[in-house]
Structure 1
Amino acid sequence: MYKSYHVLYLISQLLLFHLWRTSSKMALWSSVCKLPPELFNGYSEEFPRSLRCFLGDWLETYPWEFITGSDTFDAFMADSLLSAMVERLQDLASNHCQPSLILQFTSNLENAYRREPLKLVRTVKQILEAERVIVQNKFQRLTLHLHRQQEELKFAFDLQRLQYKLQEIRALCGNLTDGSRVSLQTNTVDPQFSTQGDLQVNALCTLFSEVTKELEAAKSQLLKRLDIWKRQQQLAGNGTPFDEDLAPLQKRFESLVDVCFQLSQQVASLVAQLGSVLQSCVKERLENVFNGLIKSAFVVDKQPPQVLKTQTKFQATVRFLLGSLLFKATQTSFSVTANIVTEKQARELVAGHPDASLNESTGELVNNIASLETSATSNACCAVFKNMLLKKIKRSDRKSTESVTEEKCAVLFSARINLGSNNATFLVQALSLPIVVIVHGNQDSNAKATILWDNAFAAKDRIPFVVTERIPWGNMCETLNQKFMAEVQTTEGLLKDHYYFLAQKIFNDNNAREEDFQNRCVTWSQFNKEILPNRGFTFWQWFEGILDLTKKYLKDYWTDRLIMGFVSKESVSTCLSASPPGTFLFRFSDSLIGGISIAYVTHLPNGSCQVGNIQPFTAASLSTHSLAKCVQDVQQIQTLYPNRPKKEAFQKYFIEELPKKNSKEYIGIQIKITVGTPSDPAPPEQNLHGAMSTPNRNAENPTEVYAEGTDFLSQETAYNSGGSPDTSWRSSGVAPLDQNVMGSMTNLSGNPGVSPDSFYDPAQGMYPQGMNQLNMPSSLNPSYESPVMETLPLAHDNEWMSALPLGPTDSHLFHLEQAMSIGLSDSPLHGDMDYPMLDPSVPENAQESSIYDLEQLTLQPLYNYSHSSGPSLTNLCS
């Protein structure tokens, strides 16, 4: 009876492995099928390779490799696995075209292994181990999915062993109790029974010790798996794929706590038989396991934002993985409190001083208390903080070289819960991932760099929140690639050539070979403290600008591999040098934050060819004119490198936009991109000061619009009234007022006290967003030569004007939407007239324009002002 019970029990437990097999797929067999059969050995007459092929990935979903002994549990498991395999083959025979062959395999298995099922286990273990070694040698590593599946099988196997031994303990306790009862009824002393009873007590004590030891091992394995989950959660902050489902871990916690309860009950019922010493030892060990599970089961399910701005609401969720199990019998509600703690306080917490971390206030959190509640649908016990807000933060002392964006803190979640009949109190605490608190948006980029570095390179069991200052270049490549794919939401990551260009940039070394960088280490300073040579920004600030540009405007082009992207000018020249004229490619600007340029082969007047680089397109320009539209407009580019016609490459992007319904009061316009050619160079034009505007031919600048010193980019605006043909205008000798009109103004506010130093604060170490030493307006950067004004790129609404500390601006500077709708609604057009394109970047304190100002801008040609001695824009309409 006892043996048959265990057989049924083990067969029922094997159904768990069947559920895992149907819910997830192993990767080993699919890898084995890709390799030639002659690589594998270990098959036998009883278990040939053809049988292995029939079983496929089914064989990997059962715990063959964890049956290492020959005790009763291992023997029963082996026998049950043999029965499961026979049943599997019989199912295949009923649905296969070769049933006789499969049935023959079934008969051979029964004959060869039924008497020795452990022999079958050894055979299968040998086959699986050989396959795993060959696959690992061939593909250099095994998949993460396979490792995780093996870990799940191991825990399930250990849990089954614990539950099996619990059944043995119950059976021994029952026999011991029955024997004692018989002895008392007969009132006799049977020496033989006494000896047998002693043996049973000794076996019971040994079994208790073994089960407690295995329970402690299972707890350690569970906590390791929880640490892996936490580490994956941290890497998810950088974009790494992450399975955030805590339900499997909750089931593990509940199963081990259930074993603890059952063992404690058995110990309590055998006080006389076990003795006080053994009982005390076992009880203490069980309490340690239980207390460890209680404290570890309190985790941060949804992390607060790791870059946290004061006076901004945010959310977070903590979860008690044992709440649904332990709170069923109690009606008490428990509250969770959240507090901001510094790095020093976090260290005290980890060192074992849970109350010391709250002695000193670090910041003021609002709405920082939530109740632990169990969801009826998900069976999850959570405390949800929906509207937390950090009102202020108290900064700690920092090193002289550290900035506020390198200072890390965390949110500490705490709760006191009462459990058990004796109302034992437990203090459970969970620390969030590191957080950088900022007070202004211009700190966001540097704060993200701190978090990216910490998430990627934090060591296991570190002292909060210490992170290494140097990491291998290969690790940095993996981090940048994962961040890029996650931010852009694309499956196409960085390539080998991209890493080479990035290495040249971050190490400032254009002479090293690609393999030389693999042995180098990147420092935190190189990543986001040191300004790049001849630039006004760090490596991370430049890379993040590309992330933002690609995410918003270039995602589909990148995913379709239409953009080469991370490549130097020298490499571009090498690629295009042997290509016919009109061949082009895209590269990210390396001197401008958030820009992409078109490099193409163009003719020179002397008949030779050269590679030209068109002024980079920024987010501001691409927001009004898509990249495909720019490609369509520029007639000098025809073939995407190496040999793909642009009409074919961009066919799905060349979609004609439906004309918007024009207002009766305005004449509709169209904006087109044109590039001058060496054979038809654009004449030099004058700026508002009457000076000639000459493009800078030597450096790539965000306001330059040339192609290697000869070609320049311009916007051609066509006014269309009814069915009349479009009248394209391009100023001849006079540059129209463009969006970035600041590029030719000495002072927008008319205040002579404003100096270029206002744009850069050495103490802060950064420029306002979108500004740097190289892309300042000419009036604020003496070394800048203003180009043709009509060719300047668009600017963000807040990129230029809102960042300028210049006070009130002129009243006639409008947003792009206003500027593009200006026209002559009631008056006929007489000849060619120049109409100004107005600045889209209007600060919040800009004044509204008067009707007189509008009339001056719309009715008077700009050349009336172009020959003056250089008035400021403030006086243009006075």
Structure 2
Amino acid sequence: MALWSFVCDISPELFNGYSEEFPHNLRCFLGDWLEKYPWEFITGSDTFNTYMADSLLSAMMEKLQELANKNCQPSLILQLTANLENAYRRDPLQLARTVKQILEAERVVVQNKFQCLPLSFHRQQEELKFGFDLKRLQYKLQEIQALCGNLENGSRASLQINTVDPQFSTQGEQQVNALRALFSEAAKDLETTKTRLLKRLDIWKRQQQLAGNGTPFDEDLAPLQKRFESLMDVCFKLRQQLVALSAQLGPDLLSCLQECLENVFNTLIKSAFLVDKQPPQVLKTQTKFQATVCFLLGSQLFKVPQTAFSVCANIVTEKQARELAAGCPDASLSESTGEIVNNLAPLEISATSGACCAVFKNMLLKKIKRSDRKSTESVTEEKCAILFSARISLGSNNTTFLLQALTLPIVVIVHGNQDNNAKATILWDNAFATKDRIPFVVTERVPWGSMCETLNQKFMAEVQTSKGLLQEHYFFLAQKIFNNNNASYKDFQNRCVSWSQFNKEILPNRGFTFWQWFEGILDLTKKYLKDYWSDRLIMGFVSKDYVSSRLGNAPAGTFLLRFSDSLIGGISIAYVIRLPNGSCQVENIQPFTAANLSVRSLADCVRDLEEIQILYPNRPKKEAFRNYFNEELPRKTNKEYIPTQIRITVGTSSDPAPQEQNLHNSVSNLNMSPGIPTDLYPGLPPPPEINWMSQGNTLPLDSVDSHLLLQESEMDICLPDLNCHGVMDYHMALDPLIKDSARPIFSFSSHYFGTSCFSGKSDPVMDKRKKSKGGEKDATDSKEEEET
């Protein structure tokens, strides 16, 4: 976004710098066009700065002429153009100074009003600066070429008159001195511009790493490739001129210039080889993965037809990566760390994009050799990387270069249960790695504010929402990770959080770490709660005390949704009830988990519960959730079945809770199949008992074979394979140890329509009953079915 878009909303009286020759209406006509050129970098009065100022003045005249042809006020624009031409054509540097003053004044006003400048402004300024430096290099190269031509013409003239003219001699010495000075300046500017290019490359790599945590990232390498190619072109031409003028420059200067140009040349070649598409940073053995490396100078340096070069991929440990960073490129592969299958790919130039890339489509890490770790470290804290290597030959003498590029840190796992902790290691490394660090050292403690930014970005990226965390969320998260409910929000801002607090220390009275709990909420929200969160229907990360303070004076039936504090991946409903004595009390319904929400959506659960009516602070639930209610399925014409549906109710605290339940297996679940081992679902309760109850004129079911209950549907709910009359009720008992569930419990009445959830097989008992009734339902049955 251009700075002009902010300036348009600010009164022009706040700016200074406008003059009679450059009035405010002229500034408005030019708009953001003015910001696309390097006015602010024209600071000198030498020939290059004069040339740039004159070029920008001509460009401005063309722009105004174009606007006059399209605008409804052509006479005004043409008059402004004429005034501009008369005022500045003789002194274009004065125009540059005027525009620079105007832009600086605008920047100060915008910064004072908004407390910061847009990121796009800083990016544009960096691009303008590089472009300006590159133009200055190209301008000096042209001057060197012109002086070289003058020296050659002078030498030929001296030979033609066959005499030594003092005038030719003096001019020749002056030109040689000027040439030496120009070469020295050009070499210095080339080094400066190369440094600026590498800095931009480091920014791109850092943004690529932050993108692993969900930060927006422009991964297009075309602008960087253009910079590399432009600078390499200048370097080539300077080397050619250096060879041609070696006799005039002298041995000392020649040696110095050669060393400088050779250093720039080698640095550009090695830096242009990088990882474009990173492999997964949590990498499971025996699983295929992809990656892409690019050589940004390939299309410029490789001969046509291209010589075949290939890139090899090898996995390296942290120790080997350090050896590589220390300048020992071959020592890093002295010992085998693991085996990657399909680790060779050709380095080819794309006919469409012009990019030179090696694409690895089917790599597979067959095995990994673990390195020695500290006693406190786990395998999911061990970081490694993939090293891409290629040897290429360039030039007529086939000079060989070793190109190497290292991926971002990778954590290798062998089982899915290591995934959560491995993600924590990668999240911490991506967020808090520093430039030029020793691989892969990262700080053990970071400011809490930085941790909040990381969690917020990760949450928004995973859930794919534009609604991030709020201040009250950060406050609750700080209370949880620091185990302190007495500190203020400001107190937490001055504290640092450690890696151990993040994902090594078990939270008090819990069986999991902070990250394991947070990641569970991420997964639940991403799969089932994204739209509710984006519409701010979920309050989310808040404590029970915070909820009580908000709902304390609210009418009975007022409710809000908060993430469970004691359960991984749960969301609970807190609501206000009125006690017999007239006072109000806040209750918390047993949390809904992924198993629950995969069967019935959150909105439908809210609709089922008659105890809750108003979403805090004052939105009727039917209005707040109406876009998310699922319509009831149409009734089937098949009269062999009675239509059914699922309904959720809240129980009472007087219902007995099974004694065998404890803190780690008291999560609500619609129905977990008895045939599934409970150790596959840590933290979930044993399956509830199913009571088959008759309703209306329907008859009770006959006994059910136990083996029929072992079948499991895709919705993670076990229903017997038989024809059903009536209502299926089954209750989920409450574990009184769970703090999220003060007294209410779930009572799920399951009513499935037609044969969608049943097998549709014939049941001889039901067939017998149909025959006895003539296969028809009476009027009472039909009426009760409609009411249901």
SS of equivalent to 2:627: helix
**In 2, Cα distance between equivalents of 1:527 and 1:570:** 23
Is 1:270 aligned to 2:245, yes or no?
yes
Please point out which of 287, 299, 309 is paired with 2:284.
309
SS at 1:566's partner residue? coil
Q: Report the TM-score when normalising by structure 1.
A: 0.78
After superposition, residues 428-467 of structure 1 pair within 5 angstroms as: 428-467=403-442
2 CA distance for matches of 1:199 and 1:534? 85
1:384 pairs with 2:359 = yes
Deviation at 1:562, TM superposition (A): 0.7
Residue equivalent to 2:55: 80
Structure 1's 770 and 478: CA in aligned 2 closer, same or farther, altered over 3 A? farther
Contact in 1 for aligned 2:317/2:337 (Cα 8 Å): yes
Contact 1:162 1:211 in 2 (8 A): yes
Q: Hey, what's the Cα distance between the residues in 1 that align with 2:379 and 2:164?
A: 82
Q: Is the 8 A contact 2:673 2:709 kept in 1?
A: no
Matching of residue 422 in structure 1 with residue 393 in structure 2: no
Match of 2:26 among 46, 51, 58: 51
Q: 1:298 corresponds to which letter in structure 2? A: F
Q: How far apart are the structure 2 equivalents of 1:348 and 1:532? A: 38
CA distance in 2, matches of 1:661, 1:682: 38
CA positional deviation for 1:682 = 8.0
- Is the Cα–Cα contact under 8 Å of residues 349 and 355 in structure 2 kept in the other structure? yes
Q: How far off is 1:609 after superposition?
A: 2.3
Deviation at 1:622, TM superposition (A): 0.4
1:39-118 equivalent positions in 2, closer than 5 A: 39-118=14-93
Q: Secondary structure at the match of 1:87?
A: helix
Counterpart-to-counterpart distance in 2, 1:666 and 1:536: 46
What letter corresponds to residue 151 of structure 2 in structure 1? L
Give the match for residue 396 of structure 1: 371
The change in CA–CA distance for 1:519 and 1:683 in structure 2 (over 3 A counts) is closer
2:614 matches 1:636: no
CA distance in 1, matches of 2:457, 2:446: 16
- Compute the displacement of 1:128 (Å): 1.1
Letter in 1 for 2:672: Q
Distance 1:810-1:442 versus aligned 2 partners, 3 A rule: farther
SS at match of 1:653: coil
Aligned to 2:625: 650
The Cα shift of 1:101 comes to 3.4
In the alignment, does 2:3 pair up with 1:28?
A: yes
CA positional deviation for 1:701: 7.5
CA distance in 2: counterparts of 1:819 and 1:157, whole angstroms? 66
Q: 2:379 & 2:525 partners in 1: Cα distance?
A: 29
Deviation at 1:124, TM superposition (A): 1.1
Q: How far is 1:273 from its partner?
A: 2.4
Give the direction of change, closer, same or farther, for the CA distance of 1:836–1:145 in structure 2 (3 Å limit): closer
What residue number does 1:132 align with?
A: 107
2:584 to 581, 591, 609: 609
Q: Whole-Å Cα distance in 2 between the matches of residues 834 and 470 of structure 1?
A: 52
Residue 822 in structure 1 maps to residue 755 in structure 2:
no
Tell me the equivalent position of 1:726: none
Counterparts of 1:46 and 1:198 in 2: how far apart (Å)? 45
Is contact 1:695-1:704 (8 Å) kept?
no
- Displacement of 1:403: 0.6
- Cα deviations across residues 679-701 of structure 1 (Å, max 9, x unaligned)? xx58746xxxxxx74899xx987
State the match for 2:534 in structure 1.
559
- What's the CA shift for 1:364? 1.1
- Which AA in structure 2 matches 1:45? E
Q: Does the C-alpha gap of structure 1 residues 833 and 401 become closer, same or farther in structure 2, counting only changes over 3 Å?
A: closer
Q: What is the distance in 1 between the residues matched to 2:536 and 2:518? A: 19
What is the distance in 1 between the residues matched to 2:345 and 2:490? 54
Give yes or no for contact 1:662–1:668 (8 Å, CA) kept in 2: no
- 1:367–1:387: 8 Å Cα contact kept in structure 2? yes
* Aligned ranges 1:231-310 → 2 under 5 Å: 231-310=206-285
Q: CA offset at residue 242 of structure 1?
A: 0.3
Q: Distance in 2 between matches of 1:821 and 1:668?
A: 15
2:2 touches 2:35 (CA, 8 Å); kept in 1?
Answer: no
Aligned equivalents of 2:408, 2:551: Cα separation in 1:
47
One-letter amino acid matched to 1:44:
S
Alignment of 1:460-859 (within 5 A): 460-659=435-634, 669-676=644-651, 681=652, 684=655, 693=658, 703=666, 738-739=671-672, 771=682, 775=683, 777=685, 812-816=709-713, 822=720, 824-825=722-723
- How far does residue 647 in structure 1 lie from its aligned partner after superposition? 1.1
Task: Say whether the 8 Å CA contact 2:711–2:719 is kept in structure 1.
Answer: no
TM-score normalised by length of structure 2: 0.87
Matches within 5 A, 1:365-380: 365-380=340-355
Offset of 1:653 from its aligned partner? 1.2
Higher mean displacement: 662-671 or 240-249: 662-671
Deviation, 1:810, is: 7.9
**How far is the alpha carbon of 1:350 from its aligned partner?**
0.5
Deviation of 1:610 after TM superposition, in Å, equals: 1.4
Q: Secondary structure at the match of 2:219?
A: coil
Q: Deviations over 1:372-429 (max 9, x none)?
A: 0110001011111111111111111111111111010000111110000011000010
The structure-2 alpha-carbon separation of the partners of 1:170 and 1:147, relative to structure 1 and needing over 3 Å to count, comes to same
In structure 2, relative to structure 1, the CA distance for the partners of 1:265 and 1:572 (3 Å cut) is: same
State the alpha-carbon separation in 1 of the partners of residues 25 and 453 from structure 2.
40
Matched AA of 2:228: F
**Alignment check: 8 A CA contact 2:40 2:100 kept:** yes
Q: How far did 1:108 drift? A: 2.5
Q: Distance in 2 between matches of 1:660 and 1:178?
A: 98
SS at match of 2:646: strand
Q: Which amino acid aligns with 2:270?
A: K
Q: Match of 1:186?
A: 161
AA matched with 1:374: I
**In the alignment, what sits opposite 2:192?**
217
Partner of 1:171: 146
Structure 1 residues 325 and 303 mapped into 2: Cα distance closer, same or farther (>3 Å)?
A: same
- Which consecutive unaligned segments of at least 5 residues does structure 2 have? 692-705, 733-747, 749-762, 769-788
Which structure 1 segments of 5+ residues have no match?
1-25, 686-691, 706-713, 716-737, 743-747, 750-758, 760-767, 779-785, 792-808, 840-853, 860-878
Percent identical across equivalent pairs?
A: 74
Contact between 2:712 and 2:719, CA under 8 Å: does it hold in 1?
A: no
Change (3 A) 1:339 1:832: closer
Worse-matched range after superposition: 90-99 or 325-334: 90-99
8 Å contact from structure 1 (residues 592, 702) kept in 2: no
Q: Quote the residue 1:799 is aligned against.
A: none
| Structure 2 match to 1:322 | 297
Aligned length in residues: 723
The DSSP-based 3-state class of the residue aligned with 2:52 is helix
Q: Hey, what's the Cα distance between the residues in 2 that align with 1:631 and 1:836?
A: 18
Q: Would the aligned equivalents of 2:689 and 2:730 in 1 still touch at CA under 8 Å?
A: no
Q: Which moved more, 1:49-58 or 1:344-353?
A: 49-58
Tell me, yes or no, if the aligned pair for 1:615 and 1:703 is still in contact at 8 Å.
no
2: distance between equivalents of 1:740 and 1:478?
41
The Cα shift of 1:467 comes to 0.4
Residues 364 and 390 in structure 1, CA contact (< 8 A), matched pair in contact too: yes
Distance in 1, Cα, partners of 2:185 & 2:134: 13
AA at the equivalent of 2:621: K
Question: In the superposition, relative to structure 1, how do residues 833 and 185 fare at CA in structure 2: closer, same or farther (>3 Å)?
Answer: closer
Q: Given the superposition, is the C-alpha separation of residues 566 and 702 from structure 1 closer, same or farther in structure 2, using an over 3 Å criterion?
A: farther
